[in-house]
Amino acid sequence: MEEPKNDEPKGELLRLRLKPGYEETRTFEGKARIELDGGDPITQQINMRVTAKVQRVDGDVYEILLEPSPITVQQEGQPDQSGLLTEEPAVVDVDTRGRLLTPTNALVSTLQTIGYVPLPEKRILPGAKWSLSGERSWPLLGNVSVRETFIYRGAEKLEGRKVHHIDQLVKGSISSIKTEASYYLDADTGTLRSGEVRISGKIEIPGPDGSKSPAEVSIRLTIRKIEPPV
């Protein structure tokens, strides 16, 4: 990970701060639009939720159990047709800097871990940037080599709570795809309170006979933390 060079004495030290037994639930709501050349666009609604439970704290590493609901995929205009994608609960290790230490390969697992944002080691001011490179599994695209750049926009208020606003820009091995995201991390816990991921561009979709068809794709995914009842 390429870090900001300076430690800013008046800056923010961004960290994940959790205790054993901490639990939260996030909802994932998305819309995917696929338009094949010469065909009518297909729009799908995507919904799921994930409950994260801290099972153990070992130094600066959290062992977190992720319990997902099935993903429902509903095609627009066809209310009687929907699909479910399911997966077993997963246990992941995440450190206090939000870095995922457990690799995830399945589509659902990758979606579950969207809320964990890798954070810089030093204190930072608005405008600070950091980046990392690796392989990611993207919806519809499979494994893609990417370079992710994060930009700290500063502290804001969201629903009465202080949050840290971080934007993400992604460049991948599929140059025709544009990916960007915005995250709002709770200033007290470092957990995601709200976020949005946007993917758009041109891809080739494989057919049952092995052929590939060009398509325009756009995906917008919104993530929100569910507040427990008072």
Strands in the chain per DSSP E: 23-36, 42-58, 61-68, 71-75, 82-85, 90-95, 129-138, 142-158, 161-172, 177-186, 192-206, 212-226
What's the length of the chain?
230
CA distance 165 to 93: 24
Cβ contact 219:205 at 8 Å: no
Model confidence over 52-63: pLDDT tens digits? 999 999 999 999
- C-alpha torsion sign, points 90, 118, 183, 174: negative
Q: What is the mean pLDDT of residues 94-114?
A: 78
Q: What is the dihedral of CA 194, 104, 169, 199, to 10 degrees?
A: -80
Query: Residue 4, Cα to own-chain centre: how many angstroms?
Result: 22
Amino acid at 168: Q
Model confidence over 144-162: pLDDT tens digits? 788 999 999 999 999 999 9
* Residue with tokens 């979606």, as numbered in its chain: 111
Token pair listed for 189:
């816990």
The pLDDT of residue 4:
94
Q: How many CA atoms lie within 13 A of 17 on its CB side?
A: 9
Residue 169 has pLDDT above 60, yes or no: yes
The pLDDT of residue 112:
80
The pLDDT of residue 211:
82
The pLDDT of residue 102:
84
Its pTM surpasses 0.85: yes
Which of the residue ranges 3-12, 137-146, 210-219 would you say has the lowest mean pLDDT? Answer: 137-146
CA distance 192 to 226: 11
CA distance 142 to 156: 35
The pLDDT of residue 28:
94
Model confidence over 44-93: pLDDT tens digits? 898 999 999 999 999 999 999 999 998 888 887 776 656 677 777 889 99
The pLDDT of residue 12:
98
Greater model confidence, 202 or 165: 165
Cβ contact 133:118 at 8 Å: no
In this prediction, what percent of the chain has a pLDDT beyond 90?
Answer: 55
